Structure 1
Amino acid sequence: MNGLYALKPWYADRLSGLRRALAARQVSPDTLTAAGVVCAAGAAAALAWLPAPPAALLVAVLLAGRLAFANLDGALARDTGRTTRRGALLNELGDRAADLLVIAGFLPLAPLWLVAAAAFATTLPSWVSLAGAAAGAPRRNGGPVGKTERCLLAVVAAASGWAVPVLAVVAAGSAVTAVVRALWVWRALGQPETTVAAAARERVVATKKAMATERDVASEKPLVRAAEPASSAPRRRPSPSPSPSPSSSPTLGPVPCEHDRSLPLDPGEVSGGITHTRPQSPADRGTRLRGAR
């Protein structure tokens, strides 16, 4: 039993052009949430201070704007990828504030106890829906007297002046709506775990998308490149100095002298890494000098 909430897809389709225009102008979804609260406050003021028949048109226009902004803020956030956890919180607080403001418009027109009872009753369906969603059930909206029906009843009160009967219907209908939602949530939670787990996964995915959006917004700030070295001058890698091993270290033997003829060394002979030349005798030097002549 969704009531007038079943018309939400049709209503959202009618607002698609306005949603694209708002996205092109980069309007914040939070601004639309605040605008919905302002419309609700204006409707409450018109209901409280204007006479019954003339107030109906202004109350109807302002409450239609309140419903339009309530539809646009979430849709715009999803279309532009700006869904955040803070935005979801602000959306819930804005809806509850708008509901209570409309009920506050009945203060000059009805007994205080009835206004207080209606204000309490209008919050019950949302409490049930949020509790069910926290337990793992899908979010339940609509009902015999949901948000849309309460706005319509406020227009009826502004047009007829029957504030007390209308407020009584709002209080009783909201309580019945809370009971209907509670029964639906109870049945949903009693289904197999797979159904509840699927709903929980959807909430986890939505939360991750919101966190990713927040990180993207935070990443737009200038970052410091931590990998860049402090000095721009290139560093010279020190050349490794191999440690000498016993097998590769040269072994120095006795160096022959001119008078040592016991070592038959040839020119260019390498002994232990040192090049030796054969000592020349006086006869060899004489042969070389005769050849030079």
Structure 2
Amino acid sequence: MDGLYALKPWYARRLSGVRAALARRGVSPDALTAAGVGCAALAAAALAWLPAPLAALPVAVLLAARLAFANLDGALARDTGRTTRRGALLNELGDRAADLVVLAGFLALAAPWLVALAALAATLPSWVSLAGAAAGAPRLNGGPVGKTERCLLVVLAAATGWAVPVLAVLAAGSALTALVRLGRLWGELA
């Protein structure tokens, strides 16, 4: 059950021209990671400050850019032979920071405890995947509510103003995703 993550190879192929142009210009993969976090912060600001449905377009565009940067940073590093352990660390920290920053935009729209619960739940799938990788299993991605689905849920909230229901679905779906990944890893490591 990979969810929208199954589209990653297709999406990566669509970004190959962009990757080639970035490589020719000598752009750092770490700069792309930082740009992804910046797009997440701008999406959070649009979510917090613009009313629904006016927030939908800027949030969607900024989160699409955030996902593109998340795809491009590692691919560019591999394409240019600039993969490093520090870059891998920065990539993981950037992904987690971008997730949390986007959800911070909900602080203007919902109770802080619900935003905190959704933020904690949104990090669970990655914690499970990283723990599995540390134990020697392959790194798992995707699931019922992975990174891409979380971004779509945020766009839904921006379009409709349904912050509380979206946060509840995001929290429950992220917890389910963590459990699905844990089950797969449990079997993998048996």
Fold shared per TM-score above 0.5: yes
When normalised by structure 2's length, the TM-score is 0.99
For structure 1, which runs of at least 5 residues remain unmatched after alignment?
191-293
Q: 1:14: Cα distance to partner?
A: 0.4
Q: 1:100: Cα distance to partner?
A: 0.1
Indicate yes or no: 2:43 matched with 1:43.
yes
The aligned residue for residue 288 of structure 1 is none
For structure 2, which runs of at least 5 residues remain unmatched after alignment?
none
Percent identical? 82
For the residues of structure 2 that align with 1:56 and 1:71, how far apart are their CA atoms? 22
For the residues of structure 2 that align with 1:112 and 1:23, how far apart are their CA atoms? 42
The aligned residue for residue 129 of structure 1 is 129
The aligned residue for residue 172 of structure 2 is 172
For the residues of structure 2 that align with 1:31 and 1:66, how far apart are their CA atoms? 12
Indicate yes or no: 2:25 matched with 1:31.
no
Structure showing greater relative contact order (alpha-carbon pairs closer than 8 Å, 6 or more residues apart): 2
Q: 1:50: Cα distance to partner?
A: 0.3
The aligned residue for residue 81 of structure 1 is 81
Equivalent residue letter for 2:57: L
Counterparts of residues 94-113 of structure 1 (less than 5 Å): 94-113=94-113
Which digits, 9 at most, give the CA deviation of each residue in 1:115-167, with x for residues without a partner? 01001001100000000000010000000000000000000000000000001
Which digits, 9 at most, give the CA deviation of each residue in 1:33-61, with x for residues without a partner? 00000000000000000011111000000
The aligned residue for residue 157 of structure 1 is 157
Counterparts of residues 205-220 of structure 1 (less than 5 Å): none
**SS class of match (2:145):** coil
The aligned residue for residue 3 of structure 2 is 3
For the residues of structure 2 that align with 1:42 and 1:120, how far apart are their CA atoms? 21
For the residues of structure 2 that align with 1:70 and 1:115, how far apart are their CA atoms? 23
Q: 1:112: Cα distance to partner?
A: 1.1
The aligned residue for residue 290 of structure 1 is none
For the residues of structure 1 that align with 2:175 and 2:88, how far apart are their CA atoms? 25
When normalised by structure 1's length, the TM-score is 0.65
The aligned residue for residue 186 of structure 1 is 186
Q: 1:3: Cα distance to partner?
A: 0.4
For the residues of structure 2 that align with 1:100 and 1:115, how far apart are their CA atoms? 10
The aligned residue for residue 62 of structure 2 is 62
Which digits, 9 at most, give the CA deviation of each residue in 1:208-245, with x for residues without a partner? xxxxxxxxxxxxxxxxxxxxxxxxxxxxxxxxxxxxxx
For the residues of structure 1 that align with 2:74 and 2:49, how far apart are their CA atoms? 32
Question: How many residues were matched structurally?
Answer: 190
**SS class of match (1:82):** coil
For the residues of structure 1 that align with 2:6 and 2:73, how far apart are their CA atoms? 19
The aligned residue for residue 240 of structure 1 is none
Which digits, 9 at most, give the CA deviation of each residue in 1:171-228, with x for residues without a partner? 00000000000000000001xxxxxxxxxxxxxxxxxxxxxxxxxxxxxxxxxxxxxx
Which digits, 9 at most, give the CA deviation of each residue in 1:92-111, with x for residues without a partner? 00000000011101001111
More helix by share: 2
Which digits, 9 at most, give the CA deviation of each residue in 1:52-103, with x for residues without a partner? 1111000000000000000000000000000000000000000000000111
For the residues of structure 1 that align with 2:136 and 2:22, how far apart are their CA atoms? 33
The aligned residue for residue 148 of structure 1 is 148
Equivalent residue letter for 2:6: A
Equivalent residue letter for 2:7: L
**SS class of match (1:54):** coil
Cα-Cα RMSD: 0.4
User: Which of structures 1 and 2 has the bigger CA Rg?
Assistant: 1
